[in-house]
Structure 1
Amino acid sequence: MVGSTARKGQKNEQPALLDTELEHLPPELRWREWMGRVEAVIFASAEPVIRETLARVVGKSCNIELIIDDVRAELAGRPYELVSVAGGWQHRTKKAFGDVIRTATGQAESARSLPQSEALVLMCIAYFQPITRGELSTFFGKEVSRDLIGILRSQDLIASGPRSPQPGAPYTYVTTKAFLSHFGFNTLRDLPDFEALEDAGLLSKEKLLGGHIMPDFAAGQEDVGDETTE
């Protein structure tokens, strides 16, 4: 029994510290080992992996960007790639194989698409965050319901931001890392340039501020309950 207890205690011991510097290896082998570690960590994660996480498994002198570049070069002929998204890195299947994957899994192409009303509200939050529900309603010329906001929150595309300095200190809304990951952005700076969208006739700040962003928005909200309180 004593021996059994000792063995159980050993299972709770901390694992040996990982040798990250690998000074016993020649430079080329050291670099290859770091590459393998970085790719393994990213491959094993369902979410984008940030720099701080990768830094735990490589030496202090390791340039993570160069490691990522070398891994990407080795994946050039593969059906998946290493992408910069949501402030980190993630393995993703190349878009060219989208139809193949959907056919194999039976997924519809529009399975991840948002209804127009939700997409428009999300677009406004992305460009004008932090923004209140009242300000969103002003843009659209119609009340943006709590239900619609709740749908976007339930998908982890938006979250509560800082309280607004407006009377009553209403909540503001901001986009999340899941939003960046969903649309393949690394940071919000990757959003299409607002002025470029205006020049292309796809978006108008005047219409936004005048409450005329999309005439069909009201129709898209007909089945969503409205509330007038913030």
Structure 2
Amino acid sequence: MRGNGDEHDDGGKPVEDGEAEGDLFPAERASAMRMIEALLFASRDLLGPDEIAARLPGKIDIPGVVEDLRRVYSTRGVNLVEISGKWGFRTAEDLSYLLSREQVEERRLSRAALETLAIIAYHQPVTRAEIEEIRGVSTSRGTVDVLLETEWIRMRGRRRTPGRPVTYGTTDAFLEHFMLASVSDLPGLDELKGTGLLDSAVPAGFSVPVPNDSSELREEEDPIDETELFDLMVEGDETTNDRDS
């Protein structure tokens, strides 16, 4: 093992910093260490004594040689570790922060989620029942949950109708993501036709509502306090067994 000047090799000679580890062991031992080191370095999986022995010539004290290797690598950037009787190289625990990387996971929204988001953006404040009426199919809680997780929509309040359903609206994060100064910058009927997102032959009387994301509650909305909002985020505003189609 590489020393600090106080250690000695087998012949009693002081070991100087920078001296090759192979010089500290007899030739056969050093050769066995190199072979085992190569096997462990190249293997994606941990290797046990039988797997190592199957590739080495002659009979070698594998546990002893591995222990020598473990000491050699004990202060390196990678350490030789034993897990369930097998060995492998792993990054030194105190250096793991160097290899960590935060990465944003991109997830493609489903068609149901996109449709739901568009309805909320244009028709806010809107309840889930109203979303289902516009889409023509039931909207699962999972679809709304995904949009809440992206923080593109929020629970605004409760509609003053039987059952007091939750109303939804968009957020500043929605505007930022879609690079909109305000929700009123969403395309109108003529723009949607021009981009091909709407058939030019739309039904007579068809219109696109002018979106309004004002944080002010409407006359038909009651506020949601923080405790109730937390319960809604955990349990959902409604229970349904239906799935989006």
TM-score (norm 1): 0.39
- Larger RCO, structures 1/2 (Cα 8 Å, 6+ apart): 1
Instruction: Return the index of the structure with the highest Cα Rg.
Output: 2
Greater per-residue helix proportion: 1
